[in-house]
A and B are shown apart, each in its own frame.
Chain A
């Protein structure tokens, strides 16, 4: 390799260019996460304790919040998969013009402010909202339906926010699939359904795993949508954390809850990364 020796340190050590970012992330990311850990295991006197975690395990109210969070995340993931897979499949098999149209329909909501979208759902789903007005004037219902400030509202809002995170990784895998493969299956006598079930679907599973991991992981930690569209019964872990630190000012217990949420998200990510590969998950979340 020919390279001038004058500034050899640069050439030999490109790692140095990452130094500033690493120092920044240690100070603003690793240190706070570590201090969360310290807070969670500290008592008022400064000794070490597991009291926060004992409290977490012993109280039904907290179990209920975890259950609500996982139920919501599970339903959201399933709904996104059922709505998103056919969309991703259509995008992968459509002509360039239709594909561009569908991709726009996915990308604009993907990047639109979650607050703006939550406001839209408030306008659409409220007691005197657009949906109720239309259903009433069409004579389909006598009483306005309660679609907002309950788990249905949270569910609709979360599916809307997270659907693109399911579509994009599945589309990425399906678009790279060799179109000759299902054709080969067809020419060997497989029906279209069989060719899909035995060839296309199994090959797209890494994308499905990446999308499902992303959606589930983001849903478990979600704060904005449940806070704006949920009712008093929809207390998720994220809302519980906010309540504990803001209303009860209990930073030690809040840290323990945060650490538990972090561990859960880490476990989901680890499982997903093992199935789908880290890159697939991170590149969609990074919105590359």
Chain B
């Protein structure tokens, strides 16, 4: 093939690749865009593009007590789950990164494996455990179940940060006389703060979005936002749903932005990160 022929062929290949990527990106983003646009629709039909625009579904949402209560319950549940999974997960991730015990890999696998198990299987198992303890339908059941799902997320994210951290940073603090808890709180934790923040953000989303556990372990007293959405999608298709979904999408984008910004703010020299 001539040099020109090769260049033309290369141009075609790139054009083909980018067309493919544009189409796949459109497939990934279109449903999200459609829902945001339809939520500002003025009619009860999900017509697209909307013929008239309004905030009425957001107002309906704001006036509805059940949606407000569901959102409030989900929020506080997610806050509690985030706190618990950080308190349990960050020290565990540190321990797994520093220990040299032979069982390290097995323990790490055990702590992280709940994310590999289908949630429906966890739901059945937790129901069997909680039913005799009379926990079904209580917030405690959801708190424990969601923490089980969020903990591996925190351990994976924080673990990666601890493994990148230079161990001599901690040694320096210790040889300057800091006790271990002091060194952990004042030197080690600040060095991995971006990972703690993004682990927390993703733990929050894990709980805030969770629907399978709440369908099995929840009751009338524990109506979370996803459970309300589930019922509305399955049984009534209320147009307010598009407004709720748009707010959820906004929350997701905000959480991703928090994680990304905390990652960018990290200064490798100041955090004692090991050079690759």
A90 touches B17 (CB 8 A): yes
CA distance A111 to B28 in the complex (A): 12
Query: Which residues from A are CB-within-8-Å of B27?
Result: 83, 160
- Classify the secondary structure of A's interface with B: helix
CA distance A21 to B98 in the complex (A): 16
Known: A123-B46, A287-B202. A21 touches B88 (CB 8 A): yes
Q: Is B38 among interface residues, defined by CB-CB distance under 8 A?
A: yes
Query: Which residues from B are CB-within-8-Å of A286?
Result: 112, 115, 152-153, 155-157
A111 touches B32 (CB 8 A): no
A14 touches B99 (CB 8 A): yes
A105 touches B115 (CB 8 A): no
B249 touches A112 (CB 8 A): yes
B180 touches A24 (CB 8 A): no
Q: Is A201 among interface residues, defined by CB-CB distance under 8 A?
A: no
Interface size on B, residues (CB 8 A): 92
B34 touches A123 (CB 8 A): yes
B121 touches A258 (CB 8 A): yes
Q: Is A54 among interface residues, defined by CB-CB distance under 8 A?
A: no
Q: Is B148 among interface residues, defined by CB-CB distance under 8 A?
A: yes
CA distance A12 to B171 in the complex (A): 13
A217 touches B32 (CB 8 A): no
Q: Is A163 among interface residues, defined by CB-CB distance under 8 A?
A: yes
Q: Is B8 among interface residues, defined by CB-CB distance under 8 A?
A: no
CA distance A265 to B114 in the complex (A): 12
Q: Is B166 among interface residues, defined by CB-CB distance under 8 A?
A: no
B29 touches A116 (CB 8 A): no
A282 touches B115 (CB 8 A): yes
Q: Is B55 among interface residues, defined by CB-CB distance under 8 A?
A: no
Closest chain A residue to B18, Cβ basis: A90
Q: Is B187 among interface residues, defined by CB-CB distance under 8 A?
A: no
Query: Which residues from A are CB-within-8-Å of B212?
Result: 223-224
Q: Is A114 among interface residues, defined by CB-CB distance under 8 A?
A: yes
Q: Is B71 among interface residues, defined by CB-CB distance under 8 A?
A: no
Known: A18-B107, A262-B121. A119 touches B35 (CB 8 A): yes
CB-contacts of A19-78 with B (<8 A) = 20-22, 24-25, 28-33, 35-36, 39
B245 touches A119 (CB 8 A): yes
Known: A2-B175, A124-B31, A228-B233. A90 touches B92 (CB 8 A): no
Interchain CB contact (< 8 A) of A115 among B18, B122, B155, B211: B211
A121 touches B31 (CB 8 A): yes
B69: min CB distance to chain A, Å: 18
Closest chain B residue to A26, Cβ basis: B110
Query: Which residues from B are CB-within-8-Å of A35?
Result: 125, 128-129
Q: Is A15 among interface residues, defined by CB-CB distance under 8 A?
A: yes
A119 touches B242 (CB 8 A): yes
Chain B 1-35: CB-based contact to A (< 8 A → 1; otherwise 0): 00000000110010001101100110111111011
CA distance A223 to B125 in the complex (A): 16
Interchain CB contact (< 8 A) of B13 among A84, A163, A192: A192
A269 touches B118 (CB 8 A): no
A10 touches B29 (CB 8 A): no
Closest chain B residue to A241, Cβ basis: B120
CA distance A223 to B119 in the complex (A): 8
Q: Is B43 among interface residues, defined by CB-CB distance under 8 A?
A: no
A-B contact pairs, 25 of them (CB 8 A): A3-B171, A17-B94, A18-B95, A21-B88, A22-B107, A28-B144, A28-B145, A29-B114, A33-B125, A108-B253, A108-B256, A112-B32, A113-B249, A115-B230, A121-B31, A122-B237, A163-B28, A221-B119, A223-B118, A223-B119, A224-B212, A238-B120, A258-B121, A285-B115, A286-B156
Q: Which 7 A-B pairs have the closest CB atoms?
A: A221-B118, A286-B156, A32-B125, A120-B31, A116-B245, A21-B92, A10-B180
- Further contacts, 17 of them, CB under 8 A, given A3-B174, A90-B20, A286-B156: A6-B179, A10-B181, A11-B180, A32-B126, A83-B27, A86-B21, A87-B25, A112-B252, A119-B233, A120-B34, A123-B242, A133-B48, A163-B24, A258-B120, A261-B120, A287-B153, A288-B157
